[in-house]
Structure 1
Amino acid sequence: MKKKVVLLVVIALLTSIAQESLGQFSFSNLFGGKNQTRKRKTFEPYSSVSLGIGTSSYYGELSPYNRFIQSTINGMRWNAAFNFTRQLSPQFGLRFGLTWARISGDDNYMDGVSGYEANFMRNLHFRNDIKELSIVGQYDFVPTLKGSPRRASIAPYIFGGIAVFAHDPVAKPETPLYPDEWVRLQPLHTEGQGLPGYTAQPYSLISVAVPLGIGVRYKLNHNFDIGLELGYRFSFTDYLDDVGGNYAATADLAAQSPLSAAMGNRTLERIAARTGKDRTAGVIQYLTNIGIYDPNNPVDPFTSSFIVPGFDGNGDNKRGSSKYKDSYMLTTVKLIYYIPAKIKCPPLR
C-alpha cells in the first residue's frame, strides 16, 4: 500500500508538469504567430547544470526505521551528484541526474541498546556503493516569470520521479580469513539464494527507486545559485544490505565455500570485523539474559558448543525481514550554473 501511494504521488507530479508545459504551447507557435511573441516575452525556457556533495543514510534490517534519527546518524556516509535541469515553464522543470552514494550499516551499533540485543548478536555489517540514474519532475513554489536572470533570490521546491541504480553490497570477513579485505556478498549466497533446496534466487544488482524530496536555491549572481536538497529514495529491493530472509543451513553454505559459511552466520565472531571491537561482554550479557550462560561458571562463549536459539545454523531461523524494503536518504549541497540562453558574438569589423 505504501509503495502504491508513493507511485501515485510521482505520477501526479509528472502529470502536472506535462499539463503545465502543454499550457505554455499553442499551435500558433508553429507558424510564428503573435502568441509566440507574447509568450517569449513572459517566459523563456532555460537550462542549468549542477555539481553537489553531501551525506547518505541507509534504512533497513541493519539500521531500523523505528530508530530513524539514530539510523540516520550512525551509518552516515557520502554522496556526489551531477544534474542537468531543463526549466519548461515558470514553475516546472525536468531534471536528469547521476549520483554516486555510499551507504552502510552495522549490527554492532546496537551494543547495549535495549530491545535490540538480538540484532547485536547477529553481528552483520555491510557497505554498498550505489550508482544512480534518475529523472525527476521539479516544482518551484516561486515562479520565474522570464528567463533565468530574473529568477527569484530564494526558491524553495519539491521533486519526485524514478531512478534506476546499480549496487553491490560488500563486507569484511573475520580477520584470520581475509585480513583487511572487503568481499562481495551476493556471490556467496548468504541466505542460500540459488542453492539446491532453496526457492529464493540470487537478488539482482540492478534495481529501481522512487526519489521524493525538497530543496531550496539561493541566487549568488547572474549565473550561479547555491542549493540545499534533501531526497529520500524508496527502493524496490530488500537487499541493499544483503539481508532479507532466513539463515541458510551452515552445512549448505560450507559446501559452497568456507567463506560463504562464515559470512552467512557471524554470531560466534569474537571481534567485530568492521570496527575491531571485542564483542565478549555484549555476547555474554545476551546469553545470560536468555538463560543459556551462567556467569558464575564462566566459559568461552565463542565456541560451536553454544547452540544459540535463533542462530543455530539449521536454516529455519530469520536473518532479516521482507516486511519493508530498504531505502536511503541523501542530503546534498550543490553549486548550480545557469547556461546562457544566447551567446553574443563580438561585432565584425
Structure 2
Amino acid sequence: MKRYHYLAASALAGLLFISSLSDSQAQRRPNTRFLPYSSVSFGVGSSHYYGDLAGYRQFLRATYIMPRWNVGLGYTRQFTPHFAARASFTWARIAGDDYTFNKGRIERSNENLVQYARNLHFRNDLKEFAISGIYNFVADGRNSSVRAKLSPYLFGGIALVAHSPEARTPVAPDNGSYEAQKWVKLQPLHTEGQGQPGYEKPYSLVTVAIPVGVGLRYKLNQDFDLGFEIGYRYTFSDYLDDVGGPYASPDALTGVASIMADRRQQRFAARKKDAPDRYAILESLYQAGGQSQQDVVNALNNPVRGSSSNILGFLKDGYLLTSFQIHYIIPGKIKCPPIK
C-alpha cells in the first residue's frame, strides 16, 4: 500500500510543479498572459474487461460481449492553452463469463473448449481515483470565455483502483439452490490456495493502473462543454477476475472455497439466474467419439485455471472505459458578498 501512496503523492507533486511553472511563465509575459481556469465534470459510459475470461487475443469480441457501466466525477485545471491536469473518481463495473464468451464458438467448433469447460465467471465494482495530464491539440484562447470550440485531446496518468471480485454460488445437483444462489466475494475464499503453505500470499484489493486515451471536447456555451472520452486502463493486478494461476490442491480449500475455485464439474452456468445447462454441448461432443471425445476429457482435466491469454505475454488484467461528459466551467472571478 505504501508504494501506491508514494506514486499518488509523486503525481500530485508533479501537477503542483506544472501549475507553478505555468504561472511563472505567464508573469514574465504579462501582455500574452493566459488566465488558467477550472471545470468540474460528470460522465456516464460503458466498461469493458480484458483478462483470463476475455483474452486480449480476441480483443474485439471481449469489447462487445459483456459491456457494463461506469459513472465518474472530475476536476480539471487548464494551466496553459494546450496543457491541463485532471483529478477524477470513477465507479465502474466489469464482468466476465466463460460460458457467455464461448457458447457460440463451441457450438460451431471445438475452439476455446478448455475455457468453456473451466466455467468461471465474475463481476467486480472498481473504484478508481486517477490523476491525469491532458494535451489539447487545439489551443485555448487567453481565458475560458474564448476557449476552443472543438478540442480533441490525449490524456495519460496514474490511478489507484480498489476492487473486490465476486461470483454467484452454483446451482445444487438436484436443481435446487445453493445458499440461495447468491453473490459472494472471492478474495477472502483464497480460491487458488493463497495464504496456504506453498502458495502465494492473498492478492491485494488495491492496485495501480495506468490510464491512457483520447477525448473530444465541444464548447456548448460560455458555461458548459460536452465531451466524449475513451481510455484503456492497464493494471498491475492479474486478479480483477480472481483468476491468475493453476488450480489449488483440493486439500488447500474447504467449504464454499472448494466449490467456487473449481467449477468444471458443475452442470449449470451459475452467473445467469436461469442457470443454463452447459453440459449439453459437452455431452454432445463427447458422444461424437474420436478426437471430439478426447478434447472434452482433456478440457475437463486441464490443470490450468488462469493463463497468459494475451498477445504480448506480459499484460495483466485491464479495462476500457467510454464516457459521455458534461463540463461546467467555474467562473474565474467569484464576487463575495460584503460582510456587514
Q: What is the correspondence of 1:176-215 to structure 2 with a 5 Å cutoff?
A: 176-198=177-199, 200-215=200-215
* 2:89 aligned residue (98, 101, 104): 98
Q: Which residue is 1:238 aligned to?
A: 238
**What does the per-residue CA deviation read over 1:156-175, in whole Å, with 9 as the maximum and x for residues that have no partner?**
10000000010000000113
Moved over 3 A (4+): 14-21, 285-294, 307-312, 344-348
Taking structure 1 as reference, are residues 220 and 290 closer, same or farther at Cα in structure 2, changes over 3 Å only?
Answer: farther
Alignment root-mean-square deviation, CA: 2.9
Q: Which residues of structure 1 form unaligned runs of 5+?
A: 1-10, 30-34, 295-306
| 8 Å CA contact retained: 1:112, 1:282 | no
- Deviation of 1:121 after TM superposition, in Å, equals 0.6
| 8 Å CA contact retained: 2:114, 2:300 | no
| 8 Å CA contact retained: 1:55, 1:332 | yes
- Deviation of 1:271 after TM superposition, in Å, equals 1.2
Q: Which residue is 1:284 aligned to?
A: 283
Q: What letter matches 1:178 in structure 2?
A: E
Q: Which residue is 2:166 aligned to?
A: 170
Q: Which residue is 1:70 aligned to?
A: 61
Distance in 1 (alpha carbons) for counterparts of 2:332 and 2:233: 33
Q: What letter matches 2:212 in structure 1?
A: L
Report the 3-state secondary structure (helix = DSSP H, G, I; strand = E; otherwise coil) of the residue aligned with 1:25: helix
Q: What letter matches 1:59 in structure 2?
A: Y
**What does the per-residue CA deviation read over 1:202-250, in whole Å, with 9 as the maximum and x for residues that have no partner?**
1000000000000001111110011000010000000000001000122
Q: What letter matches 1:327 in structure 2?
A: G
Q: Which residue is 1:8 aligned to?
A: none
| 8 Å CA contact retained: 1:111, 1:117 | no
The reply to whether residue 270 of structure 1 matches residue 270 of structure 2 is: no
Taking structure 1 as reference, are residues 204 and 75 closer, same or farther at Cα in structure 2, changes over 3 Å only?
Answer: same
Distance in 2 (alpha carbons) for counterparts of 1:59 and 1:215: 21
- Deviation of 1:16 after TM superposition, in Å, equals 11
Distance in 1 (alpha carbons) for counterparts of 2:168 and 2:15: 47
Question: Percent identical across equivalent pairs?
Answer: 47
Report the 3-state secondary structure (helix = DSSP H, G, I; strand = E; otherwise coil) of the residue aligned with 2:57: helix
Task: Select between 147-156 and 129-138 the one with higher mean Cα deviation.
Answer: 147-156
Report the 3-state secondary structure (helix = DSSP H, G, I; strand = E; otherwise coil) of the residue aligned with 2:179: coil
Taking structure 1 as reference, are residues 347 and 16 closer, same or farther at Cα in structure 2, changes over 3 Å only?
Answer: closer
Distance in 1 (alpha carbons) for counterparts of 2:30 and 2:182: 64
**What does the per-residue CA deviation read over 1:51-84, in whole Å, with 9 as the maximum and x for residues that have no partner?**
0000000000101111111111112000000000
Taking structure 1 as reference, are residues 218 and 123 closer, same or farther at Cα in structure 2, changes over 3 Å only?
Answer: same
- Deviation of 1:289 after TM superposition, in Å, equals 7.0
Q: What letter matches 1:101 in structure 2?
A: A
Q: Which residue is 2:6 aligned to?
A: none
TM-score by length of 1: 0.82
Report the 3-state secondary structure (helix = DSSP H, G, I; strand = E; otherwise coil) of the residue aligned with 1:195: coil
Q: What is the correspondence of 1:82-93 to structure 2 with a 5 Å cutoff?
A: 82-93=73-84
Taking structure 1 as reference, are residues 290 and 218 closer, same or farther at Cα in structure 2, changes over 3 Å only?
Answer: farther
Q: Which structure has the larger Rg over C-alpha atoms? A: 1
Report the 3-state secondary structure (helix = DSSP H, G, I; strand = E; otherwise coil) of the residue aligned with 1:145: coil
Q: How many residues align?
A: 311
Report the 3-state secondary structure (helix = DSSP H, G, I; strand = E; otherwise coil) of the residue aligned with 2:24: coil
Report the 3-state secondary structure (helix = DSSP H, G, I; strand = E; otherwise coil) of the residue aligned with 1:68: helix
